[in-house]
Amino acid sequence: MSGPTPVTLLTGFLGAGKTTLLARLLRWPALRDTAVLINEFGEVGLDHLLVEPLQGEVALLRGGCVCCSIRGDLKAALIDLHDRRRRGLVPPFRRVVIETTGLADPGPAVATLVADPVLRHAFTTAAIVTVVDAVNGDRTLDAHEEAVRQVACADRLILSKTDLATPDAAASLRARLAALNPVAPVTDLTLADMPEAALLTDDPSGERAGRWLCAAVPEAPHGPVGAVLIESGPVDWTRFGLWLGMLLNRHGARILRLKGLVAVEGAATPVVIQGVQHLVHPPRHLPAWPDGLARTRLVLIGHDLDGDLLRRSYRAFTGAQVSTGSGLVPRHVPEAHAPARPAAADR
């Protein structure tokens, strides 16, 4: 196949229902050409789907999917899988799903995919999908930092066991998830018509991310992890890159996720930017503005983020006019601190 193979990271705390989702997805005809990376055979409930072992750590699943165990080294497992496909030793899969352990922070796996010079040519991160248990999700988020990180990093959240939770508890958890990660859509796993294929479909143009960034962003919660929206007019790309690079260098450990639709000065169409912790994916150009409004919208999700300070810093570094938009984020940047727009010679 041409181009890098999209990789979906499937995360979720212990017992959240990752394997239930995976087993369901792998029965879906549209996902037949999927290679699944798991930690160890026998650790997860996919064994009943195994048809025959192939070679080493690779096995064939019912329906034609390939299953491969990671054994602790994601890079080696992906290179091995890539090599087997090239040599025709496994069916020609078109996407990879990595089921992480329940305690895993998705950041290091994304770092491996984005930063490794070999892997980044063969694979691309399609999405981080996080499963959250509607019955125990609240308690898990209270007790485990890893679970909060998994939600904050997600591109899509899957709510499992909603049939076992009270409507109030499910609604409360949904509100908490929306506050933790306002740019990830939440899908109910128990829905009969859950769009399985869409869960693992790549978003090569970034259009889906752009659409979600145009949606309303709720106010950040009062807990330690929350979202901050920076909204501005067009921005000088060089200055924006300097500011974001400096910010992630110093604060990347507590910025769990960033997504942005950037209006670049002198460009007619938007640029989508996405990052996980210290890492930023290569920016992508969109053919048009999802909502027709040419404005920069950057959402940062992380620990103890001071929205006012971030917006003030962004404005001072980039010179862009920061706005609070149409009530997306209610915090107000005092005009008294507004710097003058920098002279052209400074840019």
Which stretches of the chain bind another protein, using CB under 8 A? Answer: 117, 236-239, 241-247, 249-251, 264, 266-267, 271, 273, 280-283, 285, 306, 309-310, 312-313, 316-317, 337, 339-343, 346-347
Burial (CB < 10 A; 0-12, 13-18, 19+), residue 254, is middle
CB atoms within 10 A of CB 277: 24
d(CA 19, CA 65): 15
Q: Which is nearer to another protein, 203 or 236 (CB)?
A: 236
Check if the beta carbon of residue 45 is closer than 8 Å to that of residue 66. no
Q: Which is nearer to another protein, 212 or 243 (CB)?
A: 243
d(CA 63, CA 31): 9
What is the smallest separation between the CB atom of 333 and another protein, expressed in angstroms?
12
Measuring CA to CA, how many Å separate 130 from each of 9, 14, 158, 201, 289?
Answer: 8, 12, 6, 15, 28
What is the smallest separation between the CB atom of 267 and another protein, expressed in angstroms?
8
Sheet holding 186-188, edge to edge: 50-53, 58-61, 66-69, 34-38, 95-99, 5-12, 123-133, 156-160, 186-188
Alpha carbon distance, N-terminus to C-terminus of the chain: 43
What is the smallest separation between the CB atom of 163 and another protein, expressed in angstroms?
42
Nearest to 274 by CA among 202, 186, 199, 210: 210
What is the smallest separation between the CB atom of 100 and another protein, expressed in angstroms?
24
Q: Which is nearer to another protein, 117 or 292 (CB)?
A: 117
Q: Which is nearer to another protein, 84 or 295 (CB)?
A: 295
d(CA 107, CA 35): 21
What is the smallest separation between the CB atom of 109 and another protein, expressed in angstroms?
18
Q: Which is nearer to another protein, 2 or 249 (CB)?
A: 249
CB atoms within 10 A of CB 312: 17
Both tokens assigned to 80: 């091995």
Both tokens assigned to 78: 């992906």
Q: Is 14 left (phi over 0), alpha (psi -120 to 50) or beta?
A: beta
Q: Which is nearer to another protein, 102 or 252 (CB)?
A: 252
CB atoms within 10 A of CB 30: 12
Q: Which is nearer to another protein, 332 or 347 (CB)?
A: 347
What is the smallest separation between the CB atom of 86 and another protein, expressed in angstroms?
24
Q: Which is nearer to another protein, 285 or 332 (CB)?
A: 285
What is the smallest separation between the CB atom of 320 and another protein, expressed in angstroms?
13
What is the smallest separation between the CB atom of 242 and another protein, expressed in angstroms?
6
